[in-house]
Amino acid sequence: MDKFDRGPDGRSTDVASGRGAPTWMASSLKFCSRCGSPLRFGLVEGEDRERLSCEACGHIAYVNPRLVVTVLPITDAGEIILIRRGIEPGLGWWAQPGGFLEVDETVNQAAIRETLEETGLLVEPGELVGIYTRLEAAVVTLAFEARIVGGTAAPTPEAIEVAAFAPERIPWSGIAFSTTTWALRDWLDRRRPDLDWPDGHAGG
Ligand SMILES: [Zn+2]
């Protein structure tokens, strides 16, 4: 059992805490970036949890999640813009526009940039809809509501299709990611509490 409450941001993950990076990520963290010796996962003096460290030079390899910034663009009619993904992961499935935050930009800039790149629409990010931790992917996903202020919706290399859905017509069975499902539900809970959303979803 975890010592600390996971909170609502952890509802889309069931990976245990305290074991470090997920396996797929650990496979690229085998050697010390300072001296090239093997890294070992275990207790390190002065640290309050097990970590990857180098026995040769004492370097500790701290591993932190990446931030994914996503957007629910809302039309003047109250419809939600979703894209049918043109790339993996989630190829052919519906998701909100978004992507990894670059190290030299703000969250707001990333929200605008990713939405423009994937949908052709210029948005003004507004309220934060939710924060979702996915331990298995080593990411934290933010979802913003956004007003559309310009541009023209059109397919892009990353989006086979860009479509506006009335809240009653969200394609729940074709959603790409659990974080998309959660963001849509959190948005509906806030903006359209009169509507019910279905329980199941097919995405990962
Ligand atoms: Zn080293």
Mean pLDDT of all residues in the chain?
93
What pLDDT was estimated at residue 14? 85
Report pLDDT for 4: 83
C-alpha 56 to ligand 1 mean position (Å): 5
User: Could you tell me the distance, in angstroms and rounded to a whole number, from the CA of residue 46 to the centre of ligand 1?
Assistant: 17
Residue range 4-14: mean pLDDT, rounded: 87
CA–centroid distance, residue 160 to ligand 1 (Å): 45
Q: What is the mean pLDDT of residues 90-113?
A: 97
Measure 31 CA to ligand 1 centroid, in angstroms.
8
pLDDT of residue 2: 62
φ, ψ at 5 (rounded to 5°): -60, 135
Q: What is the mean pLDDT of residues 102-119?
A: 98
Can you give the three-state secondary structure of the chain, one letter per residue? Answer: CCCCCCCHHHCCCCCCCCCCCCHHHHCCCCECCCCCCEEEEECCCCCCCCEEEECCCCCEECCCCEEEEEEEEECCCCCEEEEEECCCCCCCCEECCEEECCCCCCHHHHHHHHHHHHHCEEEEEEEEEEEEEEHHHCEEEEEEEEEEEEECCCCECCEEEEEEECHHHCCHHHECCHHHHHHHHHHHHHHCCCCCCCCCCCCC
* pLDDT digits 0-9 by tens, 42-58: 999 999 999 999 999 99
Residue 44 C-alpha to ligand 1 middle, in angstroms? 14
**pLDDT the model gives residue 44:** 94
How many angstroms separate the alpha carbon of residue 36 from the centre of ligand 1?
6
149-204 pLDDT, tens digit each: 999 999 988 999 999 999 999 999 999 999 999 999 999 999 999 988 776 443 44
* pLDDT given at position 13: 86
CB atoms within 10 A of CB 78: 11
Q: Over pLDDT 90: what percentage of the chain?
A: 84
pTM: 0.91
